[in-house]
A and B are shown apart, each in its own frame.
Chain A
Amino acid sequence: MRIDYTDVLVIGGGLAGLRAGLAAKRRGQDVIILSLVPPKRSHSAAAMGGMQASLANVIKGSGDNEDVHFADTVRGGDWGADQEVVRVFVDTAPKAVRELSAWGVPWTRVHKGDRETVINGQRFVITEREEAHGLISQRNFGGTSLWRACYVSDGTGHAMLYAISDQTIAANIPVRERVEALALIHDAGRCYGAVIRDLISGELSAYVAKATVIATGGAGRLYRVTTNAVINEGIGAAIALETGRAALGNMEAIQFHPTALFPSGILITEGCRGDGGILRDVDNYRFMPDYEPEKKELASRDVVSRHMLEHIQNGKGVKSRLGQHLWLDITLLGRAHIERHLQEVREICRHFLDIDPSKDPIPVMPAQHYTMGGVRTNLLGESPGLKGLFAVGEASCWDLHGFNRLGGNSVAETVVAGMIVGEFIADFCQKPKSDLNIPTSLIHEFLKREQARIDALLGGGDEDANRLRTRMQEVMTEKVGIFRTGIQLAAAVEELQSLLLKSRNIGVRNKSRGANPELATAYRVQKMLKLALCVACGALARTESRGAHFRYDFPRRDDVQWLRRTLATWSSESDTLPTLVYEPLDVMRMELPPGWRGYGAKDYVPHPDAARRTAEIEVARSRLTGADRFELQKALMPYDHLLPPHLRARNRRIEGTVT
């Protein structure tokens, strides 16, 4: 069996993987990218509405900067995020947007002068500044205090992905398309690459690398109704889990997007609400202000999704043959606006429902959307449990998002993490002690093990892979959804365990060793069930409500017990449950101690250190009266030294020089 050697092996050809690969390549490392599909078909292309970066070009973004973006992100994540990671992220996001601009992304631009806009259901005229003319425009999004989402109409992810994919072609980085990583090769706590299956020929081979990068995106297909693409099955995170060394962080933190098209689950961008769209019920009544007077439709996604379900439970859903839904109304934005800025939404409505969103309301329901959890990494993007294994983007738990991600922060994370972690990967590869020292017998052992697994599936037990997968998706959707209870979660864990046992006895009907979708489903569902168990067990153990994780039986956020990150490992192949341990978050090192998010529930159990840390911060503030925001920030939680040197410069904006 064939063995290829490289410095950096990137598994996943979406935005995060491509950008990390580019960074390493620019530092002189040999890079190979593996992708299930042609990279431009990755799920990154489906990001529609925008990318958060505090450029503050539009008048409604006036006053925006890293500090505001930082606070919005930490609050959005309900204090689950790693605040140092949030800092390096918000500092780099404007640089990432500007880099993409230089690489050709046709960002929508600011036009000086008056323009009509819809805010809170009313038409307003706002006046853009002369000096902002031609700079990158921002739109409003949920959970943000200012207009910060930079966008390309509603094809933001598509435009970003094409620009970055074309850069990797320009940099001559080989992308192996239609291949899938089945297992990581590792020994004694060090990762050495992966065993790969060619999805066309079915052949197995090994890629041996100094650094292996998981960039495979989320695991939305654990659920029946999801906005995610069909390839988002979480296999990258699963093969990390299967090492028994790498841990997955916060897998119970699953985001449900409020406005997925009903019933297919296709994403309708948050930009619809950001631009002024509103939610209505069966009586055509706008209900969100009753639940959420502060932010209304533009509270964070976890909050809006919960209120939508609550409203349906109150009997206000629109009943249809296929179940209940609510309406997203963007008719008030007008045809001209929709044709310019929401044209994908218009196409989707036309093709899938035969409706015109400038005249008709859009039927929507919350659907699984984002996996906040993933391969737990440190700030360098490296797994603490498995040296040489890195993770970026949605597949990772870098921990930018905590327990709820803000709209526009994920597509931003992909490129920002790629820029930052890509540098650390290059640093890692350049260290002499990272040199490869691995016997080929070990590689062959891994290859043989994977071949034996495939042979077993082709040889035939009597379980049906598709049926197990469908049942898993139903269990996850019904019992590990937006509203959770201990009883339901325990039932989910029990059934998922039995499905996992059954999955060890799958036999496929189609015996082809080459292109064989049933065989792929078979080995994937074995891995997906482990992920599903990490989600369900983490959710069952977490007896509180935080961000997107909501427990009816424990409705309050509990900072005393649960200001900590869940780490799941899979110790032995014969196990049927993950092993959970917890990583505490240190309030005394936080720049923003836990408090109320500014929307959603006001009731929580405060951490004993929160008041002490707040007092400490007050003292620092008064001591530094008159200092600029940078000095103050530095006194609270310095982060400059954590960034790669070339990314440390202060971001300039039209407002003032660097303030």
Chain B
Amino acid sequence: MSETKHRQLTIKVFRYDPRTPEVAPRMQAFQVEEAEGMTLFIALNEIRETMDPGLNFDFVCRAGVCGSCGMLINGRPGLACRTLTKNLGREITLAPLPGFELIADLSVNTGKWMRAMSERLETWIHASQEETDLAQLEERMEPDLAEAIYQLDRCIECGCCVAACGTAQMRKDFVGAVGLNKVARFRLDPRDRRSDDDYFDLIGDDDGVFGCMSLLGCHDVCPKNLPLQTQIAFLRRKMTVSGLKPAGKRKR
């Protein structure tokens, strides 16, 4: 086995703690020796353990499934845990996702944003009856439909789509592709009894589906490759149909 010479990486990290506003935001550079299979998760932990114990960032699963570690990697939103340094240049710039409350350094409060979005869009099944008889056979569903729902259900609420969205940077109440995708997901699910007119009430304005400028940053950066572009376009057509009805004629 030959000893390969590892690259010396320069990782520039955005530093700011809103609780100490007297220390101005700044970029801080760290030198890290690259290792085989190194991810940004490994690199950032190495920085914290050996260079700066006060560096804040968020990782949970470190396997690309929990959505905690969204950040700007060389300016582009992505999941840091599954980003291999070997696919990046020698200089790497890391910054927190814009559009969310900054906790400190690379850590942002996506959880708070997502809960508010869920409450607003009521992102749960609105069933026709409250109680299901749990001893009976489950309600049937076409296998292809279940799979189509799962494809939209795979969203991990990482916030990358919001960070990449032009509208979200201008309208703080915009529900983002993450919110619109949720509506698309429940709309597809026959267990949810809400109608398009109900959904129109939730997203039939400029903070909802009509706020989207079709720049499609969301679609480009989604780590789960969700079909955001088609879902938003489809929803917009459906919501337009609802919106064209006189207000009194919409079903409740």
Is A109 a contact partner of B146 (Cβ separation < 8 A)? yes
For B135, give its contact among A137, A163, A651 (CB under 8 Å).
A651
Does A347 belong to the interface (CB within 8 Å)? yes
* Contact in complex: B124, A107 (CB < 8 Å): no
- Kindly state the separation between the CA atoms of A46 and B61 in the bound complex, as whole angstroms: 7
CA separation between A16 and B171, bound complex, in Å?
37
Binds B, one of A387-395, A514-522, A592-600, A605-613: A514-522
Q: Known: A103-B124, A510-B53, A515-B56. Is A169-B119 also a contact (CB below 8 A)?
A: yes
Cβ B54 vs Cβ A153 within 8 A: no
Contact B84 A104 (CB under 8 A): no
Contacts of B156 in A (CB 8 A): 40, 45, 158
Contact assessment for A99 and B134 in the assembled complex, using a CB-CB cutoff below 8 Å: yes
Q: Does B111 contact A (CB under 8 A)?
A: yes
Question: If the complex has contacts A175-B115, A352-B37, are A508 and B63 also in contact, measured as CB distance less than 8 A?
Answer: no
- Interface stretch, picked from B64-72, B160-168, B210-218, is B64-72
Cβ of B147: which chain A residues have Cβ within 8 Å of it?
106, 108, 153, 340
Q: Would you call A344 and B60 a contact (CB within 8 A)?
A: no
CB–CB B49/A466 < 8 A: yes
Q: Which of the residues B19, B37, B125, B154 comes within 8 Å of A514, measured between beta carbons?
A: B19
A residues less than 8 Å from B186 (CB atoms): 104
Interface 1/0 per residue, B3-40 and A, CB below 8 Å: 00000000000000101000000000000000011010
Would you call B115 and A517 a contact (CB within 8 A)?
A: no
B118 at the interface (CB under 8 A from A): yes
B53 touches A98 (CB 8 A): no
Q: Of B49, B124, B150, which contacts A159 at CB under 8 A?
A: B150
State whether A650 touches B19 (Cβ < 8 A): no
Contact with B153, one of A162, A167, A201, A348 (Cβ below 8 angstroms): A162
B209 within 8 A of A: no
Contacts of B139 in A (CB 8 A): 101-102
> In the complex, are the beta carbons of A515 and B153 less than 8 A apart?
no
Q: In residues 57-101 of chain B, which contact A (Cβ within 8 Å)?
A: 58-68, 82-84
A336 at interface (Cβ–Cβ under 8 A)?
no
A109 in contact with B153 (CB, 8 Å): no
Separation of A43 and B115 alpha carbons in the complex (Å): 18
Total interface residues in chain B, CB < 8 Å: 66
- Point out the residues of chain B lying under 8 angstroms from A652, CB to CB: 135-137
Contact flag A167-B124 (CB < 8 Å), given A98-B132, A466-B53, A653-B137? yes
Q: Write out the residue numbers on chain B whose beta carbons fall within 8 Å of the beta carbon of A96.
A: 134
Chain A residue numbers with a CB within 8 Å of B60 are 37, 41-43, 229-231
**Measured CA separation A340–B109 after assembly (Å):** 33
Please tell me if the beta carbons of A41 and B67 are within 8 angstroms of each other in the complex.
yes
Chain A, residues 156-168, CB within 8 Å of chain B (1/0): the string is 0011001100110
User: Are A517 and B146 in contact (CB-based, < 8 A)?
Assistant: no
Q: Kindly state the separation between the CA atoms of A650 and B115 in the bound complex, as whole angstroms.
A: 37
Within 8 Å of chain A (Cβ to Cβ): is B230? no
B149 pairs with A508, CB closer than 8 A: no
Q: Is A512 an interface residue (CB 8 A)?
A: yes
Cβ-based interface call for A136 (8 A): yes
Chain B residues in 8 Å Cβ range of A623: none
Query: Whose C-beta in chain B lies nearest to the C-beta of A514?
Result: B19
Give Cα A653 to B122, complex, Å.
Answer: 33
Most buried by B among A55, A229, A651: A229
> Would you call B206 an interface residue if the criterion is a C-beta within 8 Å of the partner chain's C-beta atoms?
no
- Give the chain A neighbours of B136 by CB distance below 8 A: 98, 652
The one of A133, A352, A509 that contacts B39, using a Cβ cutoff of 8 Å: A352
A433 within 8 A of B: no
Give the number of residue pairs across the A-B interface with Cβ within 8 Å: 207
Contacts of A55 in B (CB 8 A): 138
A155 in contact (CB, < 8 A): yes
Q: Does B104 contact A (CB under 8 A)?
A: yes
Asked if A263 is an interface residue, CB under 8 A from chain B, the answer is yes
Minimum Cβ distance to chain A for residue B21 (Å) = 13
Is B157 in contact with A104, judged by CB distance below 8 angstroms? Answer: no
Binary interface profile of A, 338-361, with partner B (CB < 8 Å = 1, else 0)?
001000100110011110000000
Of the four ranges (under 10, 10 to 19, 20 to 34, 35 or more), the interface on chain A belongs to 35 or more
Q: Known: A159-B153, A515-B17. Is A169-B124 also a contact (CB below 8 A)?
A: yes
Contacting A106 at CB < 8 Å: which of B56, B111, B153? Answer: B153
Across the interface, do A134 and B141 meet the contact criterion of CB distance under 8 Å?
Answer: yes
Q: What A residues does B180 contact at CB under 8 A? A: none
- Distance in angstroms from B248 CB to nearest chain A CB is 29
Contact indicator A106/B149 (Cβ below 8 Å)? yes
**Smallest CB–CB gap between A53 and chain B, Å?**
11
Bound CA–CA A178/B59 (angstroms): 13
CA distance A111 to B146 in the complex (A): 11
B123 contacts the other chain (CB 8 A): yes
A38 CB contacts on chain B under 8 angstroms: 68, 110-111, 114-115, 157
B84 touches A101 (CB 8 A): no
Q: Is the CB of B65 within 8 A of A517?
A: no
In contact, A264 and B37 (Cβ under 8 angstroms): yes
Asked whether B202 is an interface residue with its Cβ less than 8 Å from the other chain, the reply is no
Contacts of A170-209 to chain B: CB distance below 8 A: 170, 175, 177-178, 200-201
Q: Is B112 an interface residue (CB 8 A)?
A: yes
CB distance from B216 to the nearest CB of A (A): 21
Check B134–A649 contact: CB distance below 8 A.
yes
Q: Is the CB of A110 within 8 A of B143?
A: yes
Known: A46-B66, A107-B138, A264-B62. 19 other contacts (CB 8 A): A41-B61, A42-B60, A43-B60, A55-B138, A95-B135, A101-B139, A102-B191, A104-B125, A135-B140, A155-B150, A169-B119, A177-B111, A178-B111, A321-B1, A348-B82, A351-B83, A514-B104, A515-B17, A649-B134
Which B residues fall within an 8 A CB radius of A?
1, 17, 19, 36-37, 39, 48-49, 53-56, 58-68, 82-84, 103-104, 107, 109-112, 114-115, 118-119, 122-125, 127, 132-143, 146-147, 149-150, 153-154, 156-157, 186, 189, 191-192
Q: List 23 A-B contacts (CB under 8 A).
A: A37-B68, A41-B111, A99-B132, A102-B125, A102-B138, A104-B125, A104-B192, A106-B146, A109-B142, A135-B137, A152-B153, A155-B153, A162-B153, A163-B125, A169-B123, A170-B122, A178-B111, A229-B62, A263-B37, A347-B64, A348-B63, A514-B19, A649-B133
* In the A-B complex, the 7 residue pairs with the closest CB atoms: A38-B111, A134-B140, A518-B53, A649-B135, A95-B134, A510-B54, A104-B125
